Amino acid sequence: MREMNREVNNTEARLSKALRSLSATSPGSAPPEIGYALAEAFRRHHARRRMLRRSALAAAIVTLIALPPVLVLSRQHGIGTASQNAHGTVTNAPSPAGVHSDLPPLKRETTSRSGIRQRVVATKTATKTKMNPVARRDDFVPLPTYSLRSQAEDLRIVRLQVNGRDLRLVGAPVSGDIDERPVLADFVVGQDGTPYAVRLLRQNVR
């Protein structure tokens, strides 16, 4: 048994020695050409990286320099357009003597006025109503309250649904046949709510 153990130990020692010899005879480093090639690759890689970084930096600087003037110009342009639009709204305020349908989008308002039953018209009601091409008018019709002085006022358009009778009461030229029928109409009103003109849009058919 002891002999066997000694034999095994000897073999282990010899194997270790042989492995050390193998390690010693093996090349301890890669060929120098690999080192040169890698150093070259390193330099190329970082030269390219530095160039890209410089380009990006230059682009950023150019953008920073160019941005303020561009912003100022676009802002000025924006202000100009906005003021033109604002002016357009004012001038587009209907002149009851013959305003056409190219009016700016209407504001829905629920200004309460005595004598006129009004309702805000929901879009959903459109499905329940039927357009009456005869009832629709593109032009505003001046009401008896209209005067030249009213043109100087800040006018607004209010869309309302009123009965035919109410329309007749404010002076709109509608027949007695539609007294009980609701009619959708745009009213040009002054600052105090006085209606100066009306445009009939549609008449609900019951």
Partner 1 sequence: MADSPTEDQELLRQLAKGNEVAFRTLYERYQGSIYGFVLHMSGNRATAEEVTQEVFMLLIRNPKSYQPEKGSVAGYLYGIARNLARRAMLHSYRHVELNNGLGPGAGTESGLAMDADVLEDLSQEELIVALRKAVVSLPEQYREAIVLCDLQEMNYADAAEFLDCSPGTVASRLHRGRAMLKAKLSCYKCVK
Distance CA 127, CA 61 (A): 58
Q: Which is nearer to partner 1, 13 or 62 (CB)?
A: 13
Please, what is the minimum distance in Å from the beta carbon of residue 105 to partner 1?
Answer: 56
Pairwise CA distance, residues 196 & 58, whole Å: 63
- From 16, 76, 84, 85, residue interacting with partner 1 (rule: CB under 8 A): 16
DSSP string, 50-75: HHHHHHHHHHHHHHHHHHHHHHHHHH
Pick from 1, 3, 26, 64 the residue near partner 1 by CB under 8 A. 26
Please list the helix, strand and coil fractions of the chain in percent, rounded to the nearest 5, in that order.
50, 15, 35
User: Minimum Å distance from CB 58 to partner 1?
Assistant: 19
Q: What is the CA radius of gyration of the chain?
A: 45
Stretch of residues binding partner 1 (CB under 8 A), selected from 3-11, 59-67, 94-102, 131-139? 3-11
SS3 state at 189? strand
Q: Measure the CA–CA gap between 121 and 203, rounded to whole angstroms.
A: 13
Q: Provide the residue type at 30 as one letter.
A: A
Of the two residues 19 and 58, which places its CB atom closer to partner 1 in the complex?
19
Interaction residues for partner 1, span 31-60 (CB under 8 A): 31, 34-35, 37-39, 41-43, 45-46, 49-50
Who's near 75: CB < 8 A, 6+ residues apart?
none
Binding residues for partner 1, total number by CB under 8 A:
33
Q: Which of 2, 3, 5, 23 touches partner 1 (CB under 8 A)?
A: 23
In 3D space, the residue among 185, 136, 183, 188 whose CA is nearest the CA of residue 157 turns out to be: 188
Q: Closer to partner 1 at the Cβ: 42 or 74? A: 42
Q: Is 6 in the site for partner 1 (CB under 8 A)?
A: no
The residue ranges that bind partner 1 (CB under 8 A) are: 7-8, 10-12, 14-16, 18-23, 25-31, 34-35, 37-39, 41-43, 45-46, 49-50
